[in-house]
Amino acid sequence: MSQQHDPQPRSSMDIELTMLMESIYQKYSYDFRDYTGASQKRRVLHAMGEMKCDTISVLQSRVLHDPAAFTQLLQYLTIPVTEMFRDPSYYAALREHVMPVLSTYPSLKIWVAGCSTGEEVYSLAILLKEEGLLERSIIYATDINPQSLERAKKGVFPLDSMRDYTASYQAAGGKRAFSDYYTAAYNAALFDRSLMENVTFADHSLATDSVFAETHFISCRNVMIYFKKKLQERAFGLFHESLCHRGFLGLGSKESIDFSAYGPRFEAVVKRERLFRKLS
């Protein structure tokens, strides 16, 4: 009779990390339990250094007893890595393949899931404006980090980023001078408030919250790479349920719906740019 071996025991740090995420969920209803371990561990270790906690257990205790410490930790758990017109070819594909279809609807609902500090929302608003669709669009921009949402609402970005953003905008097929969309002052760029007139910023978690009904286009880029399989499936389920018949879904350059249970319910519009369309 063959002897069965126990699985490799988990490290103390991994156990502490699991307990921290469970504590956050129980105390604050933020669910990071199905985020990928490597990225999560890296961010927690960085937070420990900045918050001067020797162990994850010490960090857990602080977070449980001090809501301000949780707010501080949340900034590390949701580090925004974003920029305007990131992956310009994605926006060029939107302009060529998606916008002409969206233009056939009398009104549009668009959901930017995981909008972070707003760079993608402003990029989409500019694209919609240039295609004559912004005025008839309602955009829901959601994230789990209230501080990121506040920054997004203000529409103020570092002026020294504008050169790179301008190059990406032009590569995405921009039709105007990018500087037409912002006013420069005090080393910052304030974006035209009219771009956000039809935007609703809202706190929303793909791990715990529900759908936005009858959306025509959902953009969720570079968010799913931080999710384990179970949470990815939940998110894809939300997107499928939220999209109208033949609605569009845009993902990040390293993400795909192909290996999901929802894969057969979508077709690729431009596969290289991770643009998909709902089949059923």
Does the pLDDT of residue 171 top 50, yes or no?
yes
Quick one: pLDDT at residue 81? 72
Whether pLDDT at 86 is above 50:
yes
Rounded to whole angstroms, how far apart are CA atoms 265 and 233?
13
Q: Residue 5's pLDDT band (boundaries 50, 70, 90)?
A: low
Judged on CB neighbours under 10 Å (0-12, 13-18, 19+), 240 is buried
Cα 89 to the center of its chain, rounded Å:
18
pLDDT of the residue at 50: 93
Q: What is the pLDDT of residues 179-199, one digit of tens each?
A: 999 999 899 999 999 999 999
Distance CA 62, CA 56 (A): 10
The model's pTM: 0.90
Q: Which of 4-8, 33-37, 96-100, 198-202 has the lowest mean pLDDT?
A: 4-8
Cβ neighbours for 172, distance < 8 A, ≥ 6 positions apart:
85, 88, 89, 90, 91, 92, 95, 123, 127
231-271 pLDDT per residue, tens:
999 999 999 999 999 999 999 999 999 989 999 999 999 99
The contacts of residue 2 (CB under 8 Å, 6+ apart) are: none
Nearest CA to 273 out of 82, 119, 94, 116 is that of: 94
pLDDT of residue 6: 53
